[in-house]
Structure formats: C-alpha cells, structure tokens
Amino acid sequence: MIRVDSYPTHEKDGIKYRIGKVLPYGASIVPNGVNFSIFSKHATSCELLLYNKGEKKPYAVIPFPDEFRIGDVFSMIVFDIDYETVEYGYRMNGEFNPKKGFWFNKDKILLDPYAKAISGRNVWGEEPDYSNEFQHRGKIVYDDFDWDGDSPLKIPMEDLIIYEMHVRSFTRHPSSNVKHPGTFAALTQKISYLKELGINCVELLPIFEFDEFENSKIVNGKRLYNYWGYSTVGFFAPKAGYAATGRYNMEVDELKNFIKTFHQNGIEVILDVVFNHTAEGNEKGPYISFRGIDNKTYYLLTPDGYYYNFSGCGNTLNCNNSLVRNTILDCLRYWASEYHIDGFRFDLASILSRDENGAPMSSPPLLELLANDAILSNCKLIAEAWDAGGLYQVGNFPSWGRWAEWNGQYRDTVRKYLKGDGCEFENLVKRIEGSEDMYKGRSSNASINFITCHDGFTLYDLVSYNDKHNLDNGENNNDGCNDNNS
C-alpha cells in the first residue's frame, strides 16, 4: 500500500514538501520527513526557516501556502531532512500595533514554542555570538531512549523527604569529586550521599531551557549570570548547558538517564516549573518566541496593550486562555510521559488562577484541568500559592483534592520559634500536627513543610546573619526579602 501523504506536492529550491498534520504541534518525525506545525491566531502569513547546524543563514526559506493553514494552524511536511543536523525557526507577518497587543515583525526569526530541544546555549557560560540574529533555535528530537522498564515511583505524599536542588550548584564545587561537575550526569554520582541523608525525592530548580546570559554583567571583574533559571525560553526543552553532552546534542538522553538511575535507586524527580512568565520580558524585551507568534494570545495585556506584571519579571502568561492552557497541559503531559517525571512544583502558582483581566478566579479552568488530567493522574502537583501581584492563597489554593502547597506559614512559624519567639509555641504545635487549621477538609498531605528554600536565606545563613547580605551581585542588597526571621 502506498501512503499518499508520504510524497511531496510542492518543491522550492530543491526542497520538497506538502501540507502537514496540524497535530501534534512542533516538529515531529514522520515517514520520509518532518512535520512542522505551529499556531497563530492573528498572523497573516508564516515562513519556515531551515538551517544547517550552527550556520548563520538558512539554507531554505519556505512560505506556507494558504492551503497549508487549517483554522489558526500552519502545518507542513518537509521531506528528506537530516533531523540530527537541522535547526529551524519561523517568521510571522501581521499587524504591528502594540496598543492593540500586536507585535508582528516579518524580519524577526522565532523559536518554536513546542521545540523539544534548543540550540544556542549548548555549553554553560560559553559566550554567544551576538551578531547571530537567531539566538535560540529549535532542534528535532527522535525519542528512542531505552527506559528499560522504568516507571514513576508513586511514593505516597506523606512519605516524601524532598531535597530542593540546583543542578549546577549541587556538584559544581571540586569537593563534589564528580567527573562532569554541574551536570545531569554528575547527579548520578551523588546518589549514595542523598540516600544517606534519607532523601527519596529531589526537586530540581528550573531545567527548562533558559539563557544564562540574560541580564548578565561583570561585577568586580567577575561574570555574573542568570543563574537560577526562572526565565523560560522553551517549555519543552531541557537546559542543554546542564548536560555534559550538551555540545553533542545529547542533553535529552543524559537527562533521561539521570531520571532512570534515580528511579532505580528509589528517588523521585520533581521539576520546578515556571509558567507564570517568559524570558521575553516587558515592552523593552527581546523577540524570542511568543511575542512574535501571537503576543495578544499568549500574554496578559492591559487595555492599552502593556504587559500585566503579576510575576515581577515584566510579563504574565495568559494561562487561562484556552490555547495557552492547552500548551501548558501539552508540556506537562510531555514531561510526564517522555521523561517519567514524578511531579511538578509550580512557581508563583497563584498567577495560574487569574483570568484574562488579571482577576483571581474561584475555580480556575487551568488548575482544574491539570488536577483531573488522565496522563497527570499520578503526578504530584505542588503550588507556590502566591504571586508577585499580592495574591496570597496559602491554605485556600484551589485543589480539587489534588494540589498541595508550599506552606509558608510552617516556614515562618518554625523560624520564629527557633529564634526565641515564645508566642509561637501554639502555632508550632498546629504546624507540626499538619496545619489542620489551614487545610480544613483536606489531609495534611496538602502541606509541603519547609524551613528554607531557594528564596531568601539558606539554612547556613539563617543561623549566621541577622540581615541579608547580598552584596557580591552588584544589586546594592536590594534584592530578596527582608523578613527572614533569622
């Protein structure tokens, strides 16, 4: 039997192609070629750009014919692509009118929001070529990893001992005595240490692709980076600079091997995910992806076209728009199914409860969707139940019996008690007993109890300093909170 869709219908400059499948979004390998699919409600036209790895200029620019657009989706199958060496992006045309929320620019080359791997920052701290107009490029991933029968561990919530971990910091110091410091590969060499601590779950600070050179600067002769990763460039792609094999485009397999090895040793892996904003920032930020693809759909905008900033980082994703909601769901499903992730901790999760005007909803459709999704049914869902816009929901985050919360009141109560605030004794008893006063009708599993985290003082600082002392980063000690209760 001959499949009709395995043959081209169009040709341009020796590149053969035909109308593609609208789903799944992104770049996916199909018989004889690669299917490219991308959404834009307001674009008037779209071009696909194909590059040989590392080259500044595309070897092919293919406009999507009108008949290749179904609804708001452009799709195309391109034949005879070497998916291991090709990089790709898009150009969108449309109205440029920021007051109406439109930022289309036909000259900007845009990253696919569904790219499963991204080039441009393959080696941590390697200075990028800023003359390259296309900094973050989509790569095509062939999912053929051998999981060897692995599956998520399903450790009960009440039994979790969670270690919050920065992938690079955890093994970067020479005392770690690992072969590839600061990488996914290095983490597997520290399993015995974690097990000695009694750890059965690690929660990785953001590992979605981000740009360590975002807002990078030299302070006292030292290069300072965007180190924490809370500024996502691509939601589906692991940070290549965290992989010892990133320069060889093997970050996907290296990350999967780390997860499989941790599972084999009884340790779950939870990801800290940032869906509240992106690395594109405010009106002065760069074009990377969403801004040029469909700014008005992806971001929360004021009536005069400016970005609502409930994240404190310049923009806020329009999370309860049906398209954006489905993108977030697709992302989490992908990480749960393709990477065997055990759960997710949602940064500034209260933003996910805001409507398109920024007002909080009692039953946010996104949170309900995630709570009841069939593919995510065994994943832990953990909310940082506040945001930078003043919305504080600790104890009453919409849960549907599924969502747990970082219990900031547990943190504050324990700290105050330990430093001698005797009036905290009654509160301390409530927190240790499971904070039933806060989580009425919910089990104590709703409370993720912690004393320190990546925000504010470390545990060492907590017993060493009365006041914060962030002086080495050149921000005049203005960053971070002042209420550390140390």
Place of tokens 């909080």: 360
Phi, psi of 93 (to 5 degrees): -115, 155
Place of tokens 């301390």: 428
Decide: helix, strand or coil at residue 102. Answer: strand
CB atoms within 10 A of CB 17: 25
Helix, strand, coil percent values for the chain (each to nearest 5): 25, 25, 50
Among residues 47, 384, 387, 405, which one is catalytic? 384
Q: Is 347 annotated in the active site?
A: yes
Q: Is 342 annotated in the active site?
A: no
Decide: helix, strand or coil at residue 69. Answer: strand
Report helix angle 290-298 to 322-338, nearest 10: 120
Among residues 209, 211, 212, 347, which one is catalytic? 347
Partners of 35 in beta bridges: 28, 77
Distance, in Å, from the CA atom of 121 to the CA atom of 320, rounded to the nearest integer, reads 31
Distance, in Å, from the CA atom of 165 to the CA atom of 176, rounded to the nearest integer, reads 14
Spatial CA neighbour of 468 closest among 447, 483, 450: 483
Which helix (H) or strand (E) segment holds residue 209: the answer is strand 208-210
DSSP notation for 106-173: TT--B--TT-SEEES--STTPPP-TT-S--SEEE--------TT-------GGG--EEEE-HHHHHHS
Report helix angle 425-432 to 408-418, nearest 10: 140
Place of tokens 């219990």: 407
Q: Are the beta carbons of 62 and 110 closer than 8 angstroms?
A: no
Query: Which residues participate in catalysis according to the annotation?
Result: 347, 384
